[in-house]
Amino acid sequence: MKASAATACGGSRQRFFARIGCVALLLISAIATLSPTAVGATPQPLLAFSARVAGDEARTRIVIDFEKKPEFSVHYVAAPERVIVDLPATAFGFPAEDLSARGLFKDIRYGTMGEASARIVLTAKKPVKLSIAEVQSNDNGSYRLVLDAEMASKEVFADLVKTQNWAMPRAAAPDPLAMAVKDNVFTVAVDAGHGGIDAGATGAGTKTPEKTITLAFAKTLAERLNKVDGIKAFLTRDDDTFLSLSERVTLARQGHADLFVSAHADTLGQKDIRGATVYTLSDKASDRMAENLATRENLSDELAGYTLQSGPPEVADILLDLTRRETQAFSIALATNVVESFEGQIGLINNPHRYAGFQVLRAPDIPSVLLELGFLSNAEDEKLLLDESWRSKVIDRMVDAIRRYRDRAVANGG
C-alpha cells in the first residue's frame, strides 16, 4: 500500500527506496530513538493519598504520603534544571493544588509514564540538589516520601548530572528497509496528543485537560475508520498514559502505518482566535503562530523529564532528508484533503493548512499531519470540543478525507 500511495503523488516509493537501499543500512546505528524500557505484568498501583510542599527559594521540602512503602529513584536533568523522581505504578489521589509549585520549584508535574511506572518532575528555578530523599514510616502504618531540596551552584548541579549512573534508555533503531514494505492494508495510526504526566492545555472555562479531549476524539476516529472497508486504524495510546514524541513515531512505524494523524486542542494568548487547523512538517514555520505552537508541543518530552540526545550523524541526516522529501508530498496531499472536507462543514482558522517543525510529525516514511481541533482558550471552541455530537461531525469529515486520500492512492497504484 505504501508504494500505491507514492504513485498518487507522481512517483513510486518502492523505486525510490530501492535507489537508496544500498546506503540505508547506515541509518540502523544513526537514528536510534528514545523509549521507556519495556515492563512486565502490570502491578497493583500504589496509592499516594496526600501531599504538601513548604519552603522558600533556599530550601524546599516535598512530602507525599503513600498507603504502602514506595520504591523510588532520583535523577537530575539539565536544560532546564529538573529533579526526576521515578515510582512504580501510582494512583495520585490528592488534589492537584496540594502539590503546586513553590519555593525552589517553578513547576511540579506528576502522572503515569506507562502501565507499571509513574513520575514526578520538579522543574527548578535555579540549580538544586536533594539533601534528603528517603521513605519514612508514619505512625498509622503508612509511609511518606520526603524530598528536601536546597539551592546549589551550577558546578554542583552539573556534577550531579554528569556522575549519576543513569541515561535515557533508547529503543532499538528502526529498520530503514522496512520503509518499502507493502502489506496491502491501508493503515492509519491515530495519535491522541499528550497523556499521563503531560496534560497538555487546559480549558479556560471548564478546566478540562487537552489529553482527555484528544483521547476521546482519537478513540472514536479509530473506531469509525475501522468500519471502512480496506482501512485499518490503531491508537498510539488508548488510556491516560504518557508517550514520548519519538515513541509515538516508533509505534506508528512498527504498526506499518500509511498515515499518521495526531489530534490536539491547544490554547493561544489571543482568545478570539478559533477554528480547526491542519499542520504538516517543515523546518521553516509558515507563520509565528505555527512556530510558537510547535515549540510548545515539542516541550512534551521535556515536561515529562526527557532530554533529547544528540542527533544522528550528518550522513544519516542526508539520507533521511531524501526520504522526507518523498513523504512530504503525501503529507501535504492529506492536509489538502482534510481542509477540503472541512470547508463549509467545520469552522476553520484563516489559512487552515500551516506548517512548522513538529517533532511528532518527523517519521521519515509516513505521511503525517497534526490536527488542531480548536483552541481551548476560546470559549466557543471549548464548548464545541466538549460536545460529543460536534466531535462526531468532525470525525465524519476526517473519515471522508482519509477515504478519498486512500481511494486516490489505490486508483493511481492499480
pLDDT for residue 43: 62
294 and 357 inside one domain: yes
Q: Is residue 354 part of a domain?
A: yes
Look at the chain and report how many structural domains it folds into: 2
pLDDT for residue 37: 39
Q: What is the dihedral of CA 388, 393, 394, 400, to 10 degrees?
A: 140
pLDDT for residue 410: 74
64 and 149 inside one domain: yes
pLDDT for residue 361: 92
Q: Containing domain of residue 209, as a range? A: 2-34+173-413
289 and 349 inside one domain: yes
Q: Is residue 13 part of a domain?
A: yes
Q: Is residue 39 part of a domain?
A: no
200 and 348 inside one domain: yes
The pLDDT profile of the chain, 414 residues, written as one tens digit per residue, is 444 333 344 444 443 434 444 333 333 334 333 334 334 455 689 999 999 999 888 889 999 999 999 999 999 998 889 999 999 999 999 998 999 999 999 999 999 887 889 999 999 999 999 989 999 999 999 999 999 998 888 899 999 998 887 644 333 333 333 333 445 789 999 999 999 999 999 998 999 999 999 999 999 999 999 999 999 999 999 999 898 888 898 889 888 899 999 999 999 999 999 999 999 999 899 999 999 999 989 888 777 776 544 333 333 445 556 566 778 889 999 999 999 999 999 999 999 999 999 989 988 889 999 999 999 999 999 999 999 999 999 999 999 999 999 988 777 664
pLDDT for residue 9: 41
CATH code for position 22: 3.40.630.40
Q: Is residue 81 part of a domain?
A: yes
291 and 241 inside one domain: yes
68 and 24 inside one domain: no
386 and 359 inside one domain: yes
Q: Is residue 108 part of a domain?
A: yes
Number of other residues whose CB lies within 10 A of the CB of residue 9: 19
Q: Is residue 75 part of a domain?
A: yes
Please report the sign of the dihedral spanned by the C-alpha atoms of residue 49, residue 195, residue 301, residue 174. Answer: positive
Domain boundary among 136, 163, 190: 163
pLDDT for residue 172: 36
pLDDT for residue 308: 45
312 and 369 inside one domain: yes
pLDDT for residue 45: 92
pLDDT for residue 7: 38
Q: Is residue 327 part of a domain?
A: yes
pLDDT for residue 402: 97
Residue with cell 533529547: 308
d(CA 108, CA 124): 9
247 and 336 inside one domain: yes
Domain boundary among 133, 163, 193: 163
pLDDT for residue 183: 56
224 and 78 inside one domain: no
pLDDT for residue 403: 95
66 and 187 inside one domain: no
Q: Which bin fits 282, alpha (ψ -120 to 50), beta or left (φ > 0)?
A: beta
* 3-class SS of residue 217: helix
User: If you compute the radius of gyration of the chain from its CA atoms, what whole number of angstroms results?
Assistant: 23
Are 167 and 175 in contact by the 8 Å Cβ rule? The answer is no
CATH code for position 132: 2.60.40.3500
